[in-house]
């Protein structure tokens, strides 16, 4: 058996991660680690995924022809996803992002609702959301922090809304999570995400792998989540 100390997420260091991101340019290139050209295809894939969710049999918070009321971009960086996706679907978009250098960029260039300058591990949702978007930032949280965050979110979204997680997944190497020393984050296995969601009382209502990304990158998977009514209501 592995001891807890051997778990990749035990190496996570929030201060070091913030220091790393402070040294990164406040540009799309910075956000996407030198792959700025994948942004368009990423946003297109996300947009199709959301449109499919809104047309699916399980009713959304509002008809697909109407805007969603409120969305939140978690680990928003400079607001690439807010700008290219969420503001097209929702009347108001809030952002959560711990690095001030990035939120300053959002303040200057985008029209958003609330800006929460905190890490997701410290974020307490204060509104009811139709869509909670979490992309390329959850590797900065430990498994336990991620479960608690998702559980807090289950109380902060409108009936019929969705939490969408879009993250790198490692599918090889025996499905084990990987620690990245450069940016202080973990890349989780698909199976780990599924366990985390279940522990947080969420069920997957749709999931797909983003198509069209360069082969050398980790597979990027989208998961649409809703509270699992069959889960026992205990706090994780």
Which residue from 102, 116, 129, 162 is in contact with ligand SAH, where contact means CB under 6 A? Answer: 102
Choice from 49, 116, 129, 136 touching ligand SAH (CB under 6 A): 136
Least gap, CB of 66 to ligand SAH (angstroms):
26
**Residue range at the interface with ligand SAH (CB under 6 A); choices 54-62, 130-138, 188-196, 211-219:** 130-138
Q: Which stretch binds ligand SAH (CB under 6 A): 53-61, 73-81, 194-202, 226-234?
A: 73-81
For residue 194, what are the β-bridge partners? none
179 phi, psi to nearest 5 deg: -100, 135
Which one, 135 or 210, has the nearer CB to ligand SAH?
Answer: 135
Single residue of 45, 75, 201, 227 touching ligand SAH by CB under 6 A: 75
Q: How far apart are CA 148 and CA 17, in angstroms?
A: 20
Does 49 sit near ligand SAH (CB under 6 A)?
A: no
Dist CA 22 CA 180 (whole Å): 17
Asked if 17 is part of the footprint of ligand SAH (rule: CB under 6 A), the reply reads yes
Q: Which 140-169 positions form the footprint of ligand SAH (CB under 6 A)?
A: 140-141
Q: Decide if residue 120 touches ligand SAH (CB under 6 A).
A: yes
What's the half-sphere exposure (Cβ side, CA atoms, 13 Å) at 66? 9
In whole angstroms, what is the distance from residue 206 CA to residue 163 CA? Answer: 11
CB 72 within 8 A of CB 125: yes
Spatial neighbors of 216 by CB under 8 A, at least 6 apart, are: none
């Amino acid at each position: 058996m592995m001891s807890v100390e051997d778990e990749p997420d035990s190496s996570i260091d929030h201060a070091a991660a913030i220091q790393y991101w402070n040294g990164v340019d406040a540009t799309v290139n910075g956000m996407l680690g030198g792959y700025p050209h994948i942004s368009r295809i990423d946003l297109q894939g996300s947009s199709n995924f959301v449109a499919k969710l809104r047309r699916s049999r399980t009713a959304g918070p509002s008809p697909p022809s109407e805007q969603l009321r409120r969305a939140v971009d978690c680990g928003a960086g400079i607001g690439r996803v807010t700008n290219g996706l969420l503001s097209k679907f929702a009347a108001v978009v809030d952002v959560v992002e711990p690095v001030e250098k990035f939120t300053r960029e959002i303040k200057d260039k985008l029209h958003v609702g609330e800006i929460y300058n905190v890490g997701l591990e410290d974020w307490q949702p204060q509104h009811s959301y139709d869509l909670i978007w979490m992309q390329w930032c959850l590797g900065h949280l430990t498994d336990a922090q991620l479960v608690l965050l998702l559980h807090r979110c289950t109380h902060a979204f409108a009936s019929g809304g969705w939490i969408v997680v879009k993250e790198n997944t490692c599918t090889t190497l025996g499905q084990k999570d990987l620690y990245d020393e450069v940016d202080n984050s973990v890349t989780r296995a698909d199976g780990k995400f599924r366990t985390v969601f279940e522990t947080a009382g969420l069920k997957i209502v749709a999931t797909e792998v983003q198509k069209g990304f360069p082969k050398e990158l980790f597979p990027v998977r989208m998961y649409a989540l809703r509270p699992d009514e069959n889960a026992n209501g205990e706090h994780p």
